[in-house]
Structure 1
Amino acid sequence: MGLALGLCLVSGASAVLMISVPAPPSDLDSPSETSATAPVGDGVPDDSGDPRASAEESGQVDSASGQGQETSPSPEDAEEEEPVLLRSVEEEVDSADGEMTVMEGESDVMGDGPLTTFAVEVEDGLPGKAEDFAAAVEEILGDPRSWGDDGERSLQRVDGDDADIRVLLAAPDTVDRMCAPLNTNGYVSCANGNRAIINQNRWVGSVPHFDDDLETYRIYLINHEVGHTLGHGHVDCPGEGEPAPVMQQQTLGLQGCEANGWVHPDNGPADGSDEDPDD
């Protein structure tokens, strides 16, 4: 389908951002087409500022301990109590080992309708626990607010080579290589064919305009890039103060909308609670 994460505009694609972001190449300014064969990302921001510097100025990043990390150490048992979507908040990296490992195990079939399978892969050498990423992806895609809506499809995590979708977590250098010729600039994620390729630094650090809401950003990141693998292109904010559509390039900006990670935010959460989907 296409490479996608949160940020780069390309002909038939979007991309991810980077620390020092140069002006986008001339072939990246048309996000109008989403192809099953071309990489898709979220685009390069208009300014040439350093997104990481902005995050540090806003207090979002602790440059000594890593973006999004608590300044005080957490005991091992406290880490186990962290919600699935907030685990393995680690420092940013530039590169890792370059080899991907498929996470073993299968989930139950989640939802009703024709089955779509997905595998989770994590680059070797990244900080954090690979199983935390796999658990987060499974929780997000298995939620009724994700892509399995009202019997349209069911989803299941598998560990075979024949999975319909592959969700990868990789270091920026690896993302740039796997998303080429899309320019992800070491910052954004993308989708390429049936692979949703997630930039480790966005996974652990979000973006400044999400106001430290890492959980919502992680939900958005997975649903957005997986949406590209399912054939969905980019859309704009429908109106001031409305929930941003999941296929809006929210990594680049909210355009007046409210941050939102869900495809169908009005559906009830998986646990049946009445909590607000964005909490």
Structure 2
Amino acid sequence: MGLALGLCLVSGASAVLMVSAPEPPAGSGDPVETSASGPVGDGVPDSSDDRRTQQSAESTTSPAPGEGSGEKPPVLLRSVEEEVDSADGELSVVEGESEVMGEGPLTTFAVEVEEGLPGETEDFAAAVEKILGDPRSWRADDERSVQRVDDEDADVRVLLAAPDTVDRLCAPLNTNGYVSCANGNRAIINQNRWVSGVPHFEGDLRTYRIYLINHEVGHTLGRGHVDCPGEGELAPVMQQQTLSLQGCERNGWVHPENDSEN
């Protein structure tokens, strides 16, 4: 099984599962709307160019609060690092389990990180756990309960990887080194989007990170893309906000009307 949902703090970060990223099949297609059984992503702004070389000049990310002061930034703003093109190609499951969060049928998730990425694996795992365990995420309204595990048979896996590895894992979907995707039960997160966001979020990296996890995990749960419902309204989490807000306001939550427990 593949992806992972998450919310809490992680006590350890040693690798449990190692697997080489597969080579892409011959011929990669353009992004298309698919079911959760095949790769699905946010498309590519310009399918003729590899976007990773343009993002560093466009990035609007500001230093995380507390950075440089000795104070640890909030969980959702940790490990703001430089962009990369590639890493080691080996994927490691981050050790650690959370309590069961929410009510309803249990969905387990694991967190995987590619070896050799900048930043701390514990930071990514803690952020995923915090997002997916929030009542505003996919566990809302007692639809399901969620629990982070470090079992290779987790129902969902959330994976952080360098652009080159994302391109391989998402093939035949064309991610062009820029966007993230979901493939089967894996939510595959592009490291450069995680650390830099996108320009039209105007430096709001916290909201973009929440959106990125909830959107790709939504695909693993069978949700497809939707459009902005109207000018000035909150963007639905399954809107392709990485590409455009379409006149909506940026939003990362599935159920933004719910109260947070945190």
Q: How does 1:76-225 map to 2 (within 5 A)?
A: 77-78=70-71, 80=72, 82-225=73-216
One-letter identity of the residue aligned with 1:56: A
Say if 1:243 and 1:52 are closer, same or farther in 2 by CA, change over 3 A: farther
User: Given the alignment of the two structures, is residue 74 of structure 1 paired with residue 68 of structure 2, yes or no?
Assistant: yes
Q: Which runs of 5+ in 2 are unaligned?
A: 4-26
Q: How does 1:24-43 map to 2 (within 5 A)?
A: 27-28=29-30, 30-31=32-33, 34-43=34-43
Moved over 6 A (4+): none
Query: CA-to-partner distance for each residue in 1:11-64, whole Å, 9 max, x for gaps?
Result: xxxxxxxxxxxxxx9953642xx323210000011586857647635x72xxxx
User: How far apart, in 1, do the equivalents of 2:203 and 2:245 lie?
Assistant: 15
Cα deviation for residue 2 of structure 1 reads 11
Query: CA-to-partner distance for each residue in 1:112-169, whole Å, 9 max, x for gaps?
Result: 1100000000111000000000000000000000001111000000000110000000
Say if 1:179 and 1:268 are closer, same or farther in 2 by CA, change over 3 A: same
User: How far apart, in 2, do the equivalents of 1:163 and 1:142 lie?
Assistant: 16
User: How far apart, in 1, do the equivalents of 2:135 and 2:116 lie?
Assistant: 33
One-letter identity of the residue aligned with 1:180: A
TM-score by length of 1: 0.79
SS at match of 1:150: helix
RMSD over aligned Cα, in angstroms?
A: 2.4
Q: Counterpart in 1 of 2:243?
A: 252
One-letter identity of the residue aligned with 1:37: S
Query: CA-to-partner distance for each residue in 1:210-259, whole Å, 9 max, x for gaps?
Result: 00000000000000000000000000000000000000000000000000
For 1:233, which of 224, 237, 243 is the aligned residue?
A: 224
Ranked by relative contact order (alpha carbons within 8 Å, sequence separation 6 or more), the top structure is 2
User: How far apart, in 2, do the equivalents of 1:261 and 1:73 lie?
Assistant: 23
Q: Which runs of 5+ in 1 are unaligned?
A: 4-24, 61-66, 272-279
User: How far apart, in 1, do the equivalents of 2:216 and 2:88 lie?
Assistant: 23
TM-score by length of 2: 0.84
CA contact (8 A) 2:2 2:156 kept: no
CA contact (8 A) 1:68 1:90 kept: no
Say if 1:159 and 1:239 are closer, same or farther in 2 by CA, change over 3 A: same
* Count, aligned residues: 237
